[in-house]
Amino acid sequence: MKHKIAAEFFGTLWLVLGGCGSAVLAAAFPQLGIGFHGVALAFGLTVLTGAYAFGPISGGHFNPAVTLGLTVAGRFSSKDILPYWAAQVAGAIAGAAILFVIASGKQGFAAGGFASNGFAEHSPGGFGMVSALVCEIVMTFFFLLVILGATAKKASPGFAPIAIGLGLTLIHLISIPVTNTSVNPARSTGVAIFAEGGWAMPQLWLFWAAPLVGAALAGIVFPKLLSEE
C-alpha cells in the first residue's frame, strides 16, 4: 500500500504543479501567454503522463472524485478510499507549495487567485453558484464515464491515459470560464490555501461536493447503461 500512496502523492503533485503552474506562470505571460487553450492542454498532459508513470502502481487516480467513482462502480476497494484521499490532498498541497515558491521569486509577485476555483465574483466569467454547481457535477460525471469506459475490459489496452488526458483537456476548454475548472477536490484544496484575500477556502465546499456527486452518479450509471458484460 505504501507504494500506491506514494504514487498517488506524486501523481497529484505533478497534476497541480503542471496544470496550475501553467495557469499561474505561463497563461498570461506578455505576448507569449498560453491562454485558456494552453492551460487546458497542460492539465490533460499532466494526467496523461502521470497515468503512464504512476498508473501501473496505484491506478493513477490523482483525484478524490475518481477514487470515489471507481469505488461506486465496483472497481476499487472502499477500505482504501481514505488513504488515497489523504495522499491526493497532501500531494496537491505540496504541488501548490512548490509552485508558490517558484512564483514568489518574481519581482512584484502577488498570488492573486493562484489558479483557485470559484463562483460568482470569483468565476473567470462571472458565473453564479448554481451554474458552477451544475457545471462541476456534469463535467465530473462525464470525466468518470470516460475513465470507466477507457479502462473497461473491452477497451484497447494501453490507450486509456490518452483518452483520459484528452477528456480532461476538453473539460477544461468547456469549463475554465465558469469555475476555472476543478473536477478534482484535491487540486482545488491545494491552491486555495495560497490564494490571496481568503475567499477561496469558503467556496471550497462546492469543489468537493459537486465533483464527488458527479463521480458517484457516474459510478452508478456506467455499469447499468454502459455495461462491460
CATH number of the domain where residue 90 is located: 1.20.1080.10
| Residue 27 scores a pLDDT above 70 | yes
* Cβ within 8 Å of residue 21, ≥6 positions away: 42, 99, 102
| Residue 34 scores a pLDDT above 70 | yes
Mean pLDDT of the chain: 93
Per-residue pLDDT at 105: 87
Cβ 207 vs Cβ 185: under 8 Å: yes
* Cβ within 8 Å of residue 30, ≥6 positions away: none
Mean pLDDT on 188-217 = 96
Mean pLDDT on 15-34 = 87
pTM (2 d.p.)? 0.93
Count how many domains the chain has: 1
Task: Find the domain containing 185 and state its range.
Answer: 2-225
Cβ 207 vs Cβ 175: under 8 Å: no
Per-residue pLDDT at 205: 97
| Angle (CA) 69 176 12, round 5° | 45
| Residue 28 scores a pLDDT above 80 | no
Cβ 178 vs Cβ 132: under 8 Å: yes
- Long-range (24+ apart) CB contacts under 8 A made by 30-38 are 36/172, 36/173, 36/176, 36/177, 37/173
Mean pLDDT on 81-100 = 97
pLDDT tens for 129-172 read 999 999 999 999 999 999 999 998 887 778 999 999 999 999 99
Cβ 185 vs Cβ 211: under 8 Å: yes
Is 225 or 21 the better-scoring residue by pLDDT?
21
Q: Letter for the amino acid at 212?
A: L
Give the residue from 41, 28, 19 showing the smallest Cα distance to 99. Answer: 19
Cβ 186 vs Cβ 63: under 8 Å: yes
* Cell triple for 186: 484535491
Q: How many Å apart are CA 69 and CA 222, to the nearest integer?
A: 10
Cβ 124 vs Cβ 36: under 8 Å: no
CB count within 10 Å of CB 201 equals 12
